């Protein structure tokens, strides 16, 4: 993937926070107050989000079957229209509204806006209308964060010809974190981090993660999170956190480098 950065040079600390679809329906006071503390600590915040449960509901309503392979939704043409309209038309404005109501200036974006997420098909035969990010143009993010506005990015990418493609929310979060040179990546989800043998783990390494995937102890929606985390760590971002909406959970640190 190549990254287009605007000429603006910023010395400010950046944090990317990804909100999983399962958390979006009940963000609590603690979340908003943690959010404001991060802003007061000098972080420029960039939000990305998923919307899996809302998408599932819409697909069910219209009797469109869908399934996932390792956390990635196989998306046919009909499902694609539903995914795009649900994320851009429902989930994104609801989240932007909630943030604005909490006194946080926020604006909604998707991959079409100023060529934010340029994609190609990941593997049409296997996944259908799922995108692989080829280029991120951070210009709109720079403009907004320079003006203390929080970009809220939904995980819809666009091909050069203007076809919308579905991208997993965790993948968008990690690629955006890399493109904006984030200091921290927080993946907020419905569990308090990685749970192994019934216990939430406080700190883990990429090597442990690889082993747990092989052993079938990390599955489903946790897989794109940890895979994105490893990519981000390998690129030099020191830690990735998988947390619940009180920001409690697992820290993944790069104590050793994984290829
Ligand atoms: N080892 C694990 N520890 C914690 N959660 C796991 C693990 N393996 C699989 N999961 C699943 O991953 C889910 C989180 O992923 P997902 O449902 O995609 O959330 P989100 O919508 O926040 O992206 C958890 O609810 C849990 O069911
Ligand atoms: C390709 C792919 O898997 N897209 C995801 C996009 C939404 C998402 O990632 O939502 P969560 O963050 O709530 O899981 C999907 O269709 O469910």
Instruction: Please compute the mean of the pLDDT values over residues 173-193 and round it to a whole number.
Output: 96
pLDDT tens readout for residues 74-119: 999 999 999 999 999 999 999 999 999 999 999 999 999 999 999 9
Active site includes 190?
no
Note the pLDDT of residue 259. Answer: 45
What is the interface pTM, i.e. ipTM, of the complex?
A: 0.98
Whether 222 maps to a domain, the answer reads: yes
List residues bridging with 106 in a β-sheet: 150
Task: Give distance in angstroms: CA of 167 to centre of ligand 2.
Answer: 7
Whether 40 maps to a domain, the answer reads: yes
Whether 258 maps to a domain, the answer reads: no
Any long-range contacts for 109-113 (C-beta under 8 Å, 24+ apart)?
A: 109/140, 109/151, 109/152, 109/153, 109/154, 110/153, 110/154, 110/156, 111/153, 111/154, 111/155, 111/156, 111/157, 111/158, 111/164, 111/165, 111/167, 112/156, 112/158, 112/162, 112/164, 113/140
φ/ψ of 159, rounded to 5, equals -80, 170
pLDDT tens readout for residues 119-160: 999 999 999 999 999 999 999 999 999 999 999 999 999 999
For residue 119, what are the domain limits?
2-253
Whether 83 maps to a domain, the answer reads: yes
Which of 48, 189, 214, 250 for a ligand 1 pocket mutation test, highest count of atoms within 8 Å of Cβ?
189
Residues 62 and 108: their CA atoms lie apart, in Å, by 26
Active site includes 63?
no
Catalytic residue among 221, 225, 228, 245: 225
11 pLDDT band (50/70/90 cuts)? Answer: low
Active site includes 113?
no
Task: Give distance in angstroms: CA of 7 to centre of ligand 1.
Answer: 38
Task: Give distance in angstroms: CA of 102 to centre of ligand 2.
Answer: 25
Please determine, for residue 257, whether its predicted confidence score (pLDDT) is greater than 50.
no
Active site includes 52?
yes
231 is in an annotated binding site: no
Whether 48 maps to a domain, the answer reads: yes
Residues 28 and 153: their CA atoms lie apart, in Å, by 20
27 pLDDT band (50/70/90 cuts)? Answer: confident
51 is in an annotated binding site: yes
Give the side-chain half-sphere CA count within 13 A for 68: 16
Catalytic residue among 113, 137, 142, 170: 170
Pinpoint the alpha helices (H) of 108-153: 124-127, 139-146
Instruction: Please compute the mean of the pLDDT values over residues 149-177 and round it to a whole number.
Output: 97
Whether 259 maps to a domain, the answer reads: no
pLDDT tens readout for residues 45-77: 999 999 999 999 999 999 999 999 999 999 999
Q: How many domains are contained in the chain?
A: 1
Per the prediction, the chain carries an average pLDDT of 92
Whether 134 maps to a domain, the answer reads: yes
Exposure string over 90-103, b if 16+ CB within 10 A, otherwise e:
bbbebbbebbeeee
User: Which CATH number covers residue 41?
Assistant: 3.40.1160.10
């Amino acid at each position: 993937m190549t990254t287009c950065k605007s000429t603006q040079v910023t010395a400010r600390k950046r944090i990317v926070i990804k909100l999983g679809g399962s958390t979006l329906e009940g963000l609590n006071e603690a979340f908003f107050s943690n959010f404001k503390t991060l802003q007061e600590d000098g972080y420029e915040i960039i939000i990305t989000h998923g919307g899996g449960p809302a998408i599932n509901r819409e697909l069910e309503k219209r009797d469109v079957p869908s399934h996932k392979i390792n956390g990635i939704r196989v998306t046919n043409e009909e499902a694609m229209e539903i995914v795009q309209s649900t994320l851009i038309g429902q989930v994104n404005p609801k989240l932007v509204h909630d943030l604005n109501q909490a006194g946080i200036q926020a604006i909604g974006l998707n991959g079409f806006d100023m060529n934010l997420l340029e994609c190609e098909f990941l593997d049409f035969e296997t996944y259908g209308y799922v995108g692989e990010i080829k280029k991120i143009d951070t210009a709109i993010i720079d403009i907004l964060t320079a003006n203390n506005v929080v970009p809220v990015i939904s995980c819809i990418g666009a091909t050069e010809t203007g076809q919308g493609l579905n991208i997993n929310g965790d993948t968008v979060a990690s690629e955006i974190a890399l493109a904006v040179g984030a200091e921290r990546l927080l993946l907020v989800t419905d569990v308090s981090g990685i749970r192994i043998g019934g216990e939430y783990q406080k700190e883990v390494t990429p090597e442990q993660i690889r082993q747990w995937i092989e052993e079938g102890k990390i599955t489903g929606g946790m897989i794109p999170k940890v895979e994105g985390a490893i990519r981000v760590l390998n690129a030099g971002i020191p830690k990735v956190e998988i947390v619940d909406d009180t920001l409690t959970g697992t820290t993944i640190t790069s104590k050793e480098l994984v290829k």
